[in-house]
Amino acid sequence: MTAPTPSRPRRTARLAAAAALALAVGGGLAACGSGSSGAKAPDVSVQNATTTQARRQVGPLKASEPTRVVVPAAGVDASPVLRLGVDEKQELEVPPVDKAELAGWYTGSVTPGEKGASVIVAHYDTAKGPALMRDVKKMHVGDVIEIGRADGSTAVFRIRETQQVDKTDFPTNKVYGKTDRPELRLITCGGPIKNGHRSANIIFYADLVKVK
């Protein structure tokens, strides 16, 4: 079923939510990757890398919520996609531990394929061990991220940049800031565990290159 086109109030609410998140300390996944020193997943890191922005060939698309996340390079094929907001601390929510094999879409961002930055979140691991993004280290610049949408289309994004940052240095404006192109941000966690949580965020910046 095709998702309804957002009304002006809904868009206003999105902008307000995004602004609130931008004001939050860090703006990243504070609770992502919660675990202990005995977590089964190994510490993970990715090399920061970037390439030129893909030439815009398609889009922007009309609003349609994500239903599936496919990342061939990392063996990811997850459906449905959870709806995530911000918590009482104005920090971005993450999928619950019992749904660690699913990804979530931040509802304060545009839907994948619309003009702007759409934000998808997934766990690398939890206290129960490896999660959906367990093979995140296999992802590189040039790989694709496919997002199935409620209208039956698939938005294909190509990774332009990979970035790993300490959670205390999360690039809030870069991730959530305004863009006049359809873009995607896929965020997970990495680095060593400190105080029961992964200490870093891993971010993939991707451009819409195809619609299927």
Q: What is the pLDDT of residues 164-205, one digit of tens each?
A: 999 889 999 999 999 999 999 999 999 888 887 888 999 999
What CA–CA distance (Å, rounded) separates 7 from 19? 19
- Is residue 115 one of the residues assigned to a domain? yes
Q: Is residue 2 part of a domain?
A: no
d(CA 31, CA 48): 23
User: What is the domain-level CATH number for residue 187?
Assistant: 2.40.260.10
Give the Cα separation of 19 and 204 in Å (integer). 21
41 within a domain of the structure (yes/no): yes
| pLDDT (average), residues 23-48 | 64
What are the pLDDT digits (tens) for 84-127? 998 877 788 899 999 999 999 999 999 999 999 999 999 999 98
Q: What are phi and psi of 137, to 5 degrees?
A: -65, -15
Say what the pLDDT of residue 41 is. Answer: 83
pLDDT confidence tier of residue 24, bands split at 50, 70 and 90:
very low
- What are 138-167's pLDDT values in tens digits? 999 999 999 999 999 999 999 999 999 998
Inside any domain, residue 95: yes
Q: Is residue 42 part of a domain?
A: yes
Residue 1 placed within a domain:
no
Task: Provide φ and ψ at 43, rounded to 5°.
Answer: -60, 145
Tokens found for residue 211: 């619609």
Host domain of residue 80:
8-211
Question: What pLDDT is recorded for position 88?
Answer: 79
What pLDDT is stored for residue 15 in this prediction? 47
Nearest to 48 by CA among 178, 144, 190: 190
Number of domains in the chain: 1
* 148 neighbors 113 (Cβ within 8 angstroms): no
| From 35-39, 60-64, 140-144, 194-198, the region with the lowest mean pLDDT | 35-39
Is position 3 within any domain?
Answer: no
